Structure 1
Amino acid sequence: MTAHAQPRRRALVVGGSTGIGRGVADAWAEAGLDVTVLSRSTPTGPGADRLRWTATDLTDAEQVAGSLALATAGPLHAVCYSAVHYGDRRALFRDCAEAEWRRQIDVNLHGLWLTLSRTVPALRRTDTPGVFLGISSEVVYNAGPGRSGYAASKAAGAALLDSLAQEESADAPGAEALRVVQALPAGMVDTPGIRRRRPDGFDYSDYMRPAGFAPLARELAATAGAGLHGAHLVVDGDGAWYPVGERLPVSQSRRIPSGAGS
């Protein structure tokens, strides 16, 4: 009898065309997973040919529903939510428009909720525990002036994932079917989104690179998050990670004059 090849494990990265999400998507593809990316822009550059892509704008509810339905048609082994809307610039609360707040909520929080609602059942349909990786931020712990909407929406997203992790605790029925992990960069990360907010000639030499998240992504792919369920991890520039409880991430906040950008 001819042995049938095992189907490739499937992964989904929401917001995976650039930035930290792309670092995770590339690492999972290198680990042999069949990776689908949902994002507005097409993944480009080295490794893009290994990624499936579905154009998805997280502010378009109908498009999001369709994209997630396709992505969850079969079991998923790993999911990462990395989509984020920082805002056009840092600005004091009194200078922020309602439209900006709504977009931050749509992308940073509601998009996460939609992704969880569609992918958790797919993560539970695997023969090994599925893992959900949420990309967090130091602003969850530090807040800070000029980032009220970003801080509020990211903190709410972290609480949403914490609540899910507690529902999936060791004494919950079927707890081994799903593991939830949150991770955040120790410092600023060199991404296209950040570069749009910086002046020409800015020095990025001390910024982290998205590939710094590759070691953690590979670990999650190999172990399905064993021993890391419910953890908040800080990833440093060398790719090492430590629990946020060991030391809080450094605040990236600064004083912002009224009407000034960042």
Structure 2
Amino acid sequence: MTAASPLAGHRTIVVGGSTGIGRGIADAWAAAGAEVIVCSRRRPTGAGAERLGWEHVDLTDPELTRSRLRRLAADPVNAVCFSSVHYGARRAPFSDVREQEWRDQLEVNTTGLWLTLAATLPALRAAAPGLFLGVSSEVAFNAGPGRSGYAASKAAAKALLDSVAQEEDSTRVRIVQVLPAGMVDSPGIRSRRPADFDYSSYMRPADFAAVATELAATAGDKHHGDCLVVGDNGQWWSAYDSAPVSQSRPVRR
């Protein structure tokens, strides 16, 4: 390990790392010298993609997910990030949301996390200490109109990681969550916005580079069980010291 490559020799997995916050974390870990394997439905593209390994994983296919992740975690892993997310088609009142959308949100946001933990915790324990990094959302703290399924599934995911953090020996595995202080410019968000939308006030996936690199380099030392809010300047703080601001807004019927 060197100052230029603090993660040299580290083996890492990013579930949901082809775009968005997960991609920002995957790129940061690769830039810091780690071997990074992205697990996603689509292969990472664009600048920096050549530094990322890729495995096709579809979280709506539990058998595929289970087998691929178990194979990848057959050897010790230093850090795992879970960043996959299913937002839903749009913000809408509960009565306007199809049951299938609810099931898809649970399958990806909550069950996908459960499957990832089950497959990778043994490998992280073998690294002693390994880091499990979960990407959360302010909605897990605040709920909000028009986002009932997303809020419920992300709150369940946060509670799952909070619970596992209390079970795990922090000398073997450390569990940390991160979330953005504001909206993040990503393909998933862009698919839900008008073509002429102004993203100049939005955060970027690269805003997560500093916190992701430090957490991986220290295996989450001093942050086990914490949930860190990340700002657009790359700074971060505990959500339990300063709660994340709600991004909810009234929903038009």
Query: Deviation at 1:206?
Result: 0.4
Instruction: Report the equivalent of 1:151.
Output: 151
Instruction: Report the equivalent of 2:109.
Output: 108
Identify which of 227, 230, 241 aligns with 2:225: 230
Instruction: Report the equivalent of 2:121.
Output: 120
Rounded Cα–Cα distance in structure 1 between residues aligned with 2:115 and 2:214: 26
Give CA deviations for 1:97-123 in whole Å, capped at 9, x if unaligned: 110000000000000000000100010
Instruction: Report the equivalent of 1:178.
Output: 173
Instruction: Report the equivalent of 1:208.
Output: 203
Query: Deviation at 1:248?
Result: 1.5
Q: Is the 8 A contact 2:38 2:52 kept in 1?
A: yes
Q: Is the 8 A contact 2:229 2:237 kept in 1?
A: yes
Unaligned runs of 5+ in 2: 1-7
Tell me how many residue pairs correspond in the alignment: 246
Instruction: Report the equivalent of 2:136.
Output: 136
Instruction: Report the equivalent of 1:82.
Output: 83
Identify which of 228, 235, 245 aligns with 1:250: 245
Unaligned runs of 5+ in 1: 1-6, 169-173
Instruction: Report the equivalent of 1:3.
Output: none
The TM-score, its normalising length taken from structure 1, stands at 0.92
Rounded Cα–Cα distance in structure 2 between residues aligned with 1:121 and 1:250: 35
- Other structure's SS at 1:66 match: helix
Percent identical residues: 62
Rounded Cα–Cα distance in structure 1 between residues aligned with 2:71 and 2:30: 19
RMSD, matched Cα: 1.0
- Other structure's SS at 2:81 match: strand
- Other structure's SS at 1:149 match: helix
After TM superposition, the runs of 4+ consecutive aligned structure 1 residues lying more than 4 A away are: none
Instruction: Report the equivalent of 2:29.
Output: 28
Alignment of 1:10-89 (within 5 A): 10-89=11-90
Rounded Cα–Cα distance in structure 1 between residues aligned with 2:123 and 2:240: 31
Q: Is the 8 A contact 1:31 1:221 kept in 2?
A: no
Q: Is the 8 A contact 2:70 2:120 kept in 1?
A: no
Instruction: Report the equivalent of 1:190.
Output: 185
